[in-house]
Structure 1
Amino acid sequence: MQLSASHLVLRAKQLEIELMRHLAGRVELADVTGQLIHALQHERGASSLYLASGGQRFAVERRSAMEQAGAVELSLQALFGEQQDPARGASTRMLSLMATALLELDALTAFRARIERGQASPDEAVATFSRLIAGLMELIFQLADAPLQPDISRLLVAFFHLVQGKEAAGQERAVGAQLFASGVCSEVGQQRIIDLIDGQERSLQVFEAFAEPALRQLWQQQQLAPQVARLERLRRTLCSAKSGATLDSLVSDSWFEVTSERISELWQLQMQLVQCLRQACEQQIRSAEQDLLDSEGLLQLWLDNPPPQPPAVERLFQSDDLNPPAGTGTATARPALADWLQAQSERLASMEVELEAARRVMQERKVIERAKGALMSRLGLSEEAAYRALQKASMDHNRRLIDVAQATLSLPELVFGAKPGSHQN
């Protein structure tokens, strides 16, 4: 069978529809992964307080959270099975992250039994759940970090950073609750709270930049609520106290309540953002299907009424060449096809601009994460200390954080000097 241009054009549109359906599947995977993160965050908080109280408190909340997480785990495993096909866009990295998540979830079963017996510490519980959540976060990042349709890409970038901000809020709840419950302020705990607040602000700023205007407005309205002022007062209490100072342990419940309200608000935003993603996918699929019908009609009109002689490609868009001899029937066919081709070209150009903005945000995150890892390895820093070092270098050198991160990877000695204890000849 001879290959025709019309066949290729129609096949391209069919592939676009298939891609959008695969994207819809990715949105569902991101949604369920986000649901599991939310359930594990709840279980992490309840488990750490259950252990801190010697099993006297939060037993019911912990059980409820475990049941919720277990139900979502089953849904996620089913989606993992569907997404492993390379035709759906599965990559080596995605499959590796899925495998790691399954192994971590299997190990969580034994750890939950240890919590039940009181054989784990609150800090160990927070670390174990946080490690699992971090792996699931990386999976969402991989889902968002792909050359997709711009509307979907933009919303997935917003989704990832919203979930990332909510995770920082969840860790802040756990660390602050432990500080208040201990009755003593520690410098390490204070710095951890400061880092988590900073992390939330960074993530939620990106969320605002890429979210739909309605969601952005809702988030801004939430910042004016009374509980936000309560949270800020409690934060100041923690962050301004001297190391070793006495803290009112009874405030632990108030802290847990107000930080939980913040997490609930972020969760409501997350669910609405998922709805925006679903609607965007459905709209794009309907639009692509209509384009397919339109292109079939335009191409058929062109083929049924061919021009007297093949025009040069550049003449397709010249209006003075679109006046065929009377009776040929091409007066409407050629302008219609030309308009359609031009519209497609303009749409693709616009898509590329929007995609580039999403790609840039995700690429900068990769570079900064790599720079943090390099400093952690080279200087023996914690993740938070490595990020603070990058921030300080950014301010000291009056350069963007991404520029400092890139310089750290290429010329670390010029940015941070030699590794402590090393000697130069």
Structure 2
Amino acid sequence: MTIITGNPPGAAVWYQRARYIRKQQLAHMAQLGALVSAISGLVHMLQCERGASNVWLCSKGQLYEAECRASRALADDQLAAFRQALMAESALSGSAVCERIASALAGTELLEALRGKVSRRAIEAGLAMEQYSRTIRSLLSIIPQLNDSIDDPQIAGRIVALYSLMQGKELVGQERALGAIGFTQGYFSDEMRQKLVDRIDAQQACFDIFLSRVTPAFRAVFRENCAASLDTEQLRRIACTRQPAADGGATALHWFSQQTGRLEHLRALEESVIHDLMTTVHERMARDPALSPLPEEMDDPLAVWPDRPLLPLVRQQAQEIEQLSRQLASLRDALEERKTIEKAKSVLMTHQQMSEEQAWCALRKMAMDKNQRMVEIARALLTVKTLWQAPPQT
């Protein structure tokens, strides 16, 4: 324990300390820019590989063979860049972010086995999609952990916006993959339709958060280039209300092309948002006062805000940070709920000899029968699992 002797630090010392901490936070975020970009690039190429693999599997090897090969090669390039960014990263701290990175790397280590099954058509398209999606989710979960302590509202707001955009883009990718399965097979089950609706609704929620945190210029770009097109909306209606016509895969390829164009626009916007985030970080670092003692003639350190009353400023910043914290917590809760459901599915697959699809359907049916959320059923099932594994009382 440190014992303070003499007079306690005065206002100037505490003001200096605040500036130092702020500088440290901004410097930490500046170092993480390359890793954020690497995650973004890898996620995008895995989304491309997932979509191409679905078309290949559902067409029984008739479509997208070249696209599968190309997307795998590009994903491998991005994976190498991601690993390189991790090796060069000195700003990472905290067990939570390290655990997220470990989980993501574990998923990438299973890619070769998954690709082998896809190439041999030894796996169903829905299961392949879920395995790709699991790896992508692990990668995306790293983003909100990269700088959990930053308290600058402008930077925090940009992090929330970026994470929401990336989550929304992933849901668009899942929508593309699901539609590719249904249109290529010429059939949408009720369960597939519900999954489509879930992803359409969820992506809109993510994009709403994004649009609430960005500049008018970014909002204009999104609405012009990244919103679902009229063609996409028409294909959505077909998928959700009736069975597609048998046309040799023409509608499937049209769907895939439309959604791929949207994803490419989202990718370009994502890169712009990352650039804006890092530019803002560097600008604030350059604009922040140098780490030197306060001038003797500055009797009032609060004079750095000469045109704004202090109390309204503090209240405004507190409200902004509280709102951002709630949004980040909501997004993180959604990730944790997904993990809980995955664990419950694994329990059913292990103890009830169910397939992954059967386990999902069983959880969904139990949730509907009991009028509860699926995550609540999953938590109850995991609690029961601990009883199964408990040693017998003697």
Moved more, 68-77 or 245-254: 245-254
Deviations 1:165-188 (A, max 9, x none): 111111111111111111223212
Deviations 1:133-152 (A, max 9, x none): 11112112323654432111
Question: In 1, are the aligned partners of 2:25 and 2:150 still within 8 Å (CA)?
Answer: no
Q: Which of the residues 178, 181, 184 maps onto 1:178?
A: 181
Q: Within the alignment, does 1:282 sit opposite 2:282 as a pair?
A: yes
Q: Within the alignment, does 1:10 sit opposite 2:16 as a pair?
A: yes
Q: Which of the residues 210, 213, 216 maps onto 1:213?
A: 216
2:51 alignment partner in structure 1: 45
TM-score normalised to structure 2 length: 0.77
1:70 alignment partner in structure 2: 76
Distance in structure 1 (CA, Å) of the matches to 2:95 and 2:197: 36
CA pair 165-217 structure 1, distance change in 2 beyond 3 A: same
1:365 alignment partner in structure 2: 331
1:94 alignment partner in structure 2: 97
Distance in structure 1 (CA, Å) of the matches to 2:362 and 2:154: 33
1:310 alignment partner in structure 2: none
Question: In 2, are the aligned partners of 1:26 and 1:143 still within 8 Å (CA)?
Answer: yes
Query: In structure 2, what residue type is equivalent to 1:231?
Result: T
Q: Structure 1 regions of 5+ residues with no counterpart?
A: 303-332, 394-403, 413-425
Query: In structure 2, what residue type is equivalent to 1:351?
Result: Q
- 1:18-417 to structure 2, matched below 5 A, reads 18-83=24-89, 88=91, 90-143=93-146, 146-222=149-225, 228-241=229-242, 248=247, 249-288=249-288, 291-292=289-290, 296=293, 299-302=294-297, 333-334=298-299, 337=301, 339-340=303-304, 350-367=316-333
CA pair 153-45 structure 1, distance change in 2 beyond 3 A: same
Q: Structure 2 regions of 5+ residues with no counterpart?
A: 349-358, 381-394
Question: In 2, are the aligned partners of 1:147 and 1:359 still within 8 Å (CA)?
Answer: no
Distance in structure 2 (CA, Å) of the matches to 1:370 and 1:103: 18
SS at match of 1:301: coil
Deviations 1:32-84 (A, max 9, x none): 2121110100011112222333434322222222222212212222332344x
Distance in structure 2 (CA, Å) of the matches to 1:36 and 1:187: 32
Shift of 1:102: 1.2
CA pair 233-146 structure 1, distance change in 2 beyond 3 A: farther
CA pair 198-76 structure 1, distance change in 2 beyond 3 A: same
Shift of 1:191: 1.3
SS at match of 1:119: coil
Moved more, 116-125 or 160-169: 116-125
Query: In structure 2, what residue type is equivalent to 1:292?
Result: A
SS at match of 1:334: coil
Shift of 1:341: 7.6
SS at match of 2:296: helix
Shift of 1:338: 5.0
Moved more, 200-209 or 138-147: 138-147
CA pair 58-208 structure 1, distance change in 2 beyond 3 A: same
Instruction: State the superposition RMSD in angstroms.
Output: 3.6
Shift of 1:364: 2.9
Distance in structure 1 (CA, Å) of the matches to 2:25 and 2:202: 34
Distance in structure 1 (CA, Å) of the matches to 2:361 and 2:290: 53
Distance in structure 2 (CA, Å) of the matches to 1:344 and 1:40: 50
Shift of 1:266: 1.3
CA pair 62-146 structure 1, distance change in 2 beyond 3 A: farther
Shift of 1:12: 3.8
Q: Kindly indicate whether structure 1 or structure 2 has the higher relative contact order, using CA contacts under 8 Å at least 6 residues apart.
A: 2
Distance in structure 2 (CA, Å) of the matches to 1:124 and 1:372: 16
Distance in structure 1 (CA, Å) of the matches to 2:316 and 2:74: 42
Moved more, 21-30 or 196-205: 21-30
CA pair 381-67 structure 1, distance change in 2 beyond 3 A: closer
CA pair 338-164 structure 1, distance change in 2 beyond 3 A: closer
Distance in structure 2 (CA, Å) of the matches to 1:162 and 1:383: 32
Query: In structure 2, what residue type is equivalent to 1:236?
Result: R
Number of aligned residues: 353
TM-score normalised to structure 1 length: 0.72
Shift of 1:271: 1.1
Distance in structure 2 (CA, Å) of the matches to 1:267 and 1:4: 49
Query: In structure 2, what residue type is equivalent to 1:215?
Result: F
Distance in structure 2 (CA, Å) of the matches to 1:106 and 1:301: 59
Question: In 2, are the aligned partners of 1:184 and 1:247 still within 8 Å (CA)?
Answer: no
Distance in structure 1 (CA, Å) of the matches to 2:156 and 2:102: 25
Shift of 1:255: 0.7
CA pair 382-66 structure 1, distance change in 2 beyond 3 A: same
SS at match of 2:146: helix
Shift of 1:199: 1.2
Query: In structure 2, what residue type is equivalent to 1:262?
Result: R
